[in-house]
Structure 1
Amino acid sequence: MGQCDRNRSILCVFFTIIPTMLMADANQSTAATSAFCVNPAGDLGKCIYFLDCKPLPRALSTDLNFLKNSQCNQKEGPGFICCPDKRHVLPEPPHCGVRAALQLTGAQLTQPDDYPWTALIEYEKPDGTTGFHCGGTLINQGYILTAAHCVSSLRADWKVHRVLLGEWDLSSVLDCAYNVCNNPPIEAKVLKIIVHAGYDAQNGSFIHDIALIRFEELANFPDTIVPICLPIAESFPWENITDGFSTVVGWGKSQSTAGVTKKLKLNLKVRNFRECSSLLEWPEKMQPSQLCALWERSNRKICSADAGGGLAWFYRRFHYLIGVAGSDEQKCGSGDVPGVFVNVSSYMNWIRNNIK
């Protein structure tokens, strides 16, 4: 703090750093910058004009060094800080949920750029080999959302190794179509795994089967990797999700199935809670924090969903994550039995509270 004593720290900050920031154009647009960043405390935030960071965190208003080290986006001039306000951490349209293929019926092969939020979780095994056995969904530059059973109910001696982003064909180094190749996939190291405290693998119900994986570093994404949108807005039309189709995307990976090498998509019809309860073999275990979806054709030969992968609903040009896939038996359903998913809307507060 230099010459600023503890009792005058607030005045010191405002009479040293703030005037410099105010030299910046007060009309700077948050939307024009809004890059993700990590502040000195290790909290995930967005690089925005400091007056837009409301409420201004206490550390920013009392600690001169913290404020100095929180500055970002210097190319745009002074006045931008890494704001850890959780309202700024999750992307919103048009910065999420884009570049997905047209909805098709049945298990269909995707193109390399389709559904760019799809992630794979790689596991390290006792013999030194690795394998992909669960999926996840990218929700911002630092986290994927997945199922709790993918990270806490593992086979003996399995260990979550890393997360693969931007993959399409697991059998090739580069993913190419029409003589154009994407950048190689990004391999993100895992810093932290956060499992919902209410998850209990022993009861067999898969209630609260949801988890977050944080990367060691914020990923610097190419255009072929984009996070999905989350249903953040209070006005999100949940009552309409039974209209049309929702989509699961993946390689059919789980702890007991090998899946396929190229990413597939499959459209499912979301059912309301009453229909789900009547269709399930164990209706007493169905909870409001879950939703179900059914593939309505009997000739399905493969489930494209990964355990822990996402169920996405297309609404007004953007894809929103509405569900997280369950176990093998649950993720796509079979015959007239629907697949069961964690209802993301029931966990939005949990997601916000656990993203740092």
Structure 2
Amino acid sequence: MLTDQKLVLLPLLLLLGASAQRADAAQISFGSCTPQQSEERGFCVHIESCPFLYTILKADKTTPAQRTLLSKSQCGLDNRQEGLLNRILVCCPVSKRGAQVANGNNAAEEHLPGNVLPGNETCGIHFADRIVGGRNTTLSEFPWMVLLQYKKLFSEDYSFNCGGTLINSRYVLTAGHCLASRRLDMSGTALHAVRLGEWDTNTDPDCVPEKNGKTTCAPAHIDIEVEKRIIHEAYVPNSIDQLNDIALLRLKKSVSYSDYVRPICLGINEDVRTNIFEGYAMDVAGWGLTEKKVPSPRKLKITVDVWNLKACQDKYSTYKVNLNDNQLCAGGKANVDTCGGDSGGPLMVAINTGGREVFYVAGITSYGPDPCGLQGWPGVYTRTGAFVDWIQRKLEA
């Protein structure tokens, strides 16, 4: 809840006039919100990133109604910035955001070298309203998720066979078996590109109806070819244990961030990277096989609980599978599981960081029971925290 002191800041800004200059703050959203006098969805952004309200602020004369609108539109303060005007955050309706802001570009983050990971003011930000327990994702939910596009050798046939996670403007995190496996060799396909900003593979652009009767559309998806494939040196393709099932993809060009394309956070801090997350509820999403045994055209999600590793080992020891501390087990509910096509996608944990919910990639989808979704059989994930040092060593500028 806003304090009385914050509530009076916007009226005071009217006294500053148009001469006040905004610092080079990142043009990012600080979450979703409901704008004043509107049923339309909005995003909490710097006031200069909302031309609709900023124009009122700069006007020589304002009406009492406009001043009230400015005051009630405030949704917080960005205390990283210097100066009152630069800190103000307002709830800006989706339809009122300018083209530059709609792309949400954070130039400072996007032009960092490829060996630099974004800070949590940029990564892991979740713009969508969460639907707890739901299977459908919203249009801008999990904007770090990517599809891996494969090309049939000696033809122009393309398919999506794995997922991945954007971790900075140049690199995607995925599973080692998405790059090297007997199944890939037999299919005669090879990784070609990654697709970002996708929601429904049957439509382009993706659009959803809003409560006010209007339609919100995401920008067209982006396909970027892969420049370099990096598989963990200790990964053994087709091994039963699938230890070290992790890989990185370096893209041929840098990614521009938006509400629909944004990196997830990597757990650099010790308390995140060493956490085994036992008992945590986590999100998994993807376009993999559904209960109808066909890939889902639309990005779907499930919530899974992380198991005790020994209990998971006891289950898999039946098949002489050996797990270690570099893996996580999660799920085990009937018909609620990752499945074919979800491999390489993220196991996501939301952690309160700096007073807001930030998503971290806790695991990478590795393997699970066949058929998928067997009661009492969790899926197995590569524990990302165990490989943070390896990831950082492999990143190039």
Q: Same fold (TM over 0.5)?
A: yes
Q: Secondary structure at the match of 2:178?
A: helix
Q: Percent identity?
A: 32
The more displaced of 317-326 and 233-242 is 233-242
Alpha-carbon spacing, 1:123–1:84, altered in 2? closer, same or farther (3 Å): closer
1:213 paired with 2:243, answer: no
CA offset at residue 233 of structure 1? Answer: 0.7
Aligned mate of 1:167, from 198, 217, 223: 198
Gap regions ≥5 residues in structure 1: 1-28, 36-74, 77-81
CA offset at residue 301 of structure 1? Answer: 8.2
Q: 1:222-251 deviations in whole A, cap 9, x for unaligned?
A: 321110011111132854723441011111
CA offset at residue 334 of structure 1? Answer: 2.3
Aligned mate of 1:233, from 269, 282, 295: 269
Q: 1:20-53 deviations in whole A, cap 9, x for unaligned?
A: xxxxxxxxx9x95799xxxxxxxxxxxxxxxxxx
Aligned mate of 2:324, from 280, 287, 304: 287
1:6 corresponding residue in structure 2: none
Alpha-carbon spacing, 1:238–1:104, altered in 2? closer, same or farther (3 Å): farther
Q: Distance in 2 between matches of 1:322 and 1:32?
A: 29
CA RMSD of aligned residues (A): 3.0
Q: Secondary structure at the match of 1:247?
A: strand
Conservation of the 8 A alpha-carbon contact between 1:132 and 1:253: no
2:222 corresponding residue in structure 1: 186
2:237 corresponding residue in structure 1: 201
**Misfit runs of 4+, over 4 Å:** 31-35, 82-86, 237-240, 301-305, 330-333
| TM-score, structure 1 as length reference | 0.70
Gap regions ≥5 residues in structure 2: 1-22, 29-106, 210-214
| TM-score, structure 2 as length reference | 0.63
Alpha-carbon spacing, 1:354–1:174, altered in 2? closer, same or farther (3 Å): same
1:125 paired with 2:165, answer: no
CA offset at residue 184 of structure 1? Answer: 0.4
Alpha-carbon spacing, 1:85–1:182, altered in 2? closer, same or farther (3 Å): closer
- Could you tell me which amino acid in structure 1 is paired with residue 162 of structure 2? C
Q: Distance in 1 between matches of 2:166 and 2:114?
A: 20
Q: Distance in 2 between matches of 1:270 and 1:331?
A: 20
Q: Secondary structure at the match of 1:334?
A: coil
1:54 corresponding residue in structure 2: none
Conservation of the 8 A alpha-carbon contact between 2:274 and 2:386: no
2:358 corresponding residue in structure 1: 318
- State the number of aligned residues: 277
Alpha-carbon spacing, 1:300–1:249, altered in 2? closer, same or farther (3 Å): closer
Conservation of the 8 A alpha-carbon contact between 1:266 and 1:303: no
1:97 paired with 2:124, answer: yes
